[in-house]
Chains A and B, each alone.
Chain A
């Protein structure tokens, strides 16, 4: 419970951008596992709370298996949470129920990682886009639909529009396919865009253009964007706020620049340190100390204590016994770690300084 309280106090930087649109309130997702007689529950997501604000980008960063895609799928209404709730414009919604699914989808759309798999190979681009236009914009007139299709395709910079509308997915490059997928999401005129690793399958030289396009759409349509990625460097450039997930829980949150440049949680520090650093050729990859054993964090519901403890260089007895709540570091930042005094002493001093000041005034 305490983590909810603490995170509720964090005022995200994105809040300055616009109104709160979509909110995850301590979302959780358990998967039941069975190994023969033995039954286990895997909590893939636990107590995840954050808000998506108009014209702002929130990045959800984590390794594979950290639960970041599950969060996106729950927000997209494709997966039913086992705990917590989703609120759209302050009202609790249940998008998985029959009556609420389509109206919810008119507001919340998703772009998937693999543009090779997410477009139907037997349909032309025109068909792929016309369906959401008819369903969500309720356009019936053929000319109106056609005009809207051309507008959409041109909006994602696929010109000449008529030529692209007549193409099949296999005739498009990876970047062009992802643009079609983005156009399909825009066809519903959503207010929230959930992008699950939208550029990780694309070539390095075209990633930037697609991210750039998303950013442009964000400001033009005042979209609230959730950017799910494993690449913390792109989160730094693209997102206002960054949430770092580990084994199903948010371990650190704050403005992207602060989180990447002054990471507080030992896991974020490991992530940042592992990212390639081409500007520092002297600090190249050093040989591993051999015999190093690394255990992955467990997300089983029976796990006690901090889930990062088995990999954490700072772990002590307390970390293994009790899970740390999200502790507030500043008005905009929080991290879930008992050892912040060692992991990020500077940040903690700043916090205490601020608190003393507020007491004085």
Chain B
């Protein structure tokens, strides 16, 4: 099986990915806090084998809750109220298993062995009083039955994999730099050869240079080990570079799904269009930045219909009673879906920005 992360310029990856049976399929998943706050609201996403799916959204958009929800890791007061999460790995029954239906003992066997997570803050995710060796060893002990020698070899291989010198096995987390800690987290996620790795903001706390190195490392490991990645971040510009396909979340809903090229060149949802105009780029000509007026919504009191209405420059009365199903974007490949039935990619350019760009040069 060829991984798709390096074949980029053609639109092949998404088409190829769509044909394969997804290794992880989330259908109609909802996670509700306190009975009425819908943090994840009827979300459908699918992850093809070996693919990198980017999940973009602001804080409070439900992207991290979705990640926890699909491993059944949400804690009260959050409750999963609907949906199914079908996992079809090579080590489970051919039809796949529904993670939400499994008994907890069976689920525990699957977690980490099949689906592992790299958390955002490595400092908090690693145990400060255990050496790296012991923390990595714990994962191996829990899932594989290795002899002492095999275990030692495996630990060495894991560190080699992420480019950390072997003598660091003796170190405590505080003795490592932020980038190294994140590499340890990645090594831990890959320790028992899972088929799906969820990365929740794995590089957000790091410097751009280190971030770049870690991303390159992830791409390389994916080429070698063929796992699928669900890459969660608020940084859409990063996803455009690393992801094969991108899902954009807003207020607990997926508002647009498409390949990186489609999202970049033909964004269909007004929120995606706004996000793309929000971040300054150091490369290329200076362009007009627009941003998105208003503030992210309060999930406890969402307006009826589309939650983006208060911030949307295209909003009309019709928007208040649409359902937020994602549907194919007219004039695009069928794999490109958007929740907005009114706005088309062509309307992105015609839209006049409401917020003036922060360019001090222009105001001289």
Contact = CB atoms under 8 A, between A and B. Distances in A.
Interface of A: 17, 56-57, 63-64, 173-176, 203-209, 211-212, 214-215, 218-219, 230-234, 236-240, 257, 260, 270-282, 284-288, 290-294, 296
B355 to A, nearest CB: 6
B219 A205 contact: no
Given A275-B281, A287-B223, A281 B207 contact: no
Contacts of A286: 6, 216, 219
A278 B216 CA distance: 16
B333 interface: no
Given A206-B292, A207-B291, A212 B357 contact: yes
Contacts of A281: 8-9, 240-241, 260-261, 264
Contacts of B234: 203-204
A215 B360 contact: yes
Given A205-B291, A276-B235, A277-B281, A212 B355 contact: yes
A68 to B, nearest CB: 12
B238 interface: yes
Contact of B216 (A64, A287, A293): A287
Contact of A279 (B223, B275, B284, B361): B284
Contact of A288 (B209, B217, B364): B217
A293 B236 CA distance: 29
Contacts of A282: 8-9
B202 to A, nearest CB: 13
B259 to A, nearest CB: 10
Given A204-B279, A236-B282, A290 B220 contact: yes
Given A206-B291, A233-B281, A278-B264, A290 B358 contact: no
A326 B168 CA distance: 37
Nearest to B265: A281
A332 B287 CA distance: 24
B238 A205 contact: no
Contacts of A296: 177
Q: Chain B: interface secondary structure? A: loop
Contacts, number: 174
A166 B264 CA distance: 42
Given A236-B280, A288-B216, A208 B208 contact: no
Given A215-B358, A233-B280, A285 B242 contact: yes
Contact of B278 (A173, A205, A293): A205
Contacts of A257: 286, 361
Contacts of A273: 212
Contacts of B59: 174, 203
Interface in B328-364: 355-361, 363-364
A212 B238 contact: no
Given A208-B358, A237-B358, A238-B360, 13 more contacts: A63-B208, A203-B59, A204-B235, A206-B296, A209-B355, A238-B358, A279-B284, A281-B8, A285-B212, A285-B216, A285-B219, A286-B216, A288-B219
Interface in B184-232: 207-213, 215-217, 219-220, 223
B280 A203 contact: no
A287 B6 contact: yes
A252 to B, nearest CB: 14
A303 to B, nearest CB: 17
19 contacts: A63-B207, A63-B209, A64-B178, A203-B296, A207-B291, A208-B358, A212-B357, A215-B363, A230-B207, A237-B286, A237-B357, A257-B286, A279-B283, A282-B8, A285-B242, A286-B6, A286-B216, A287-B219, A287-B220
B111 to A, nearest CB: 28
Which residue, of B210, B280, B359, has the highest number of chain A Cβ atoms within 10 A?
Answer: B280
A208 B238 contact: no
Contact of B275 (A63, A205, A272): A205
A175 B60 CA distance: 14
B280 A278 contact: no
Contacts of A215: 358-360, 363
B335 to A, nearest CB: 17
Nearest to B234: A204
B210 to A, nearest CB: 8
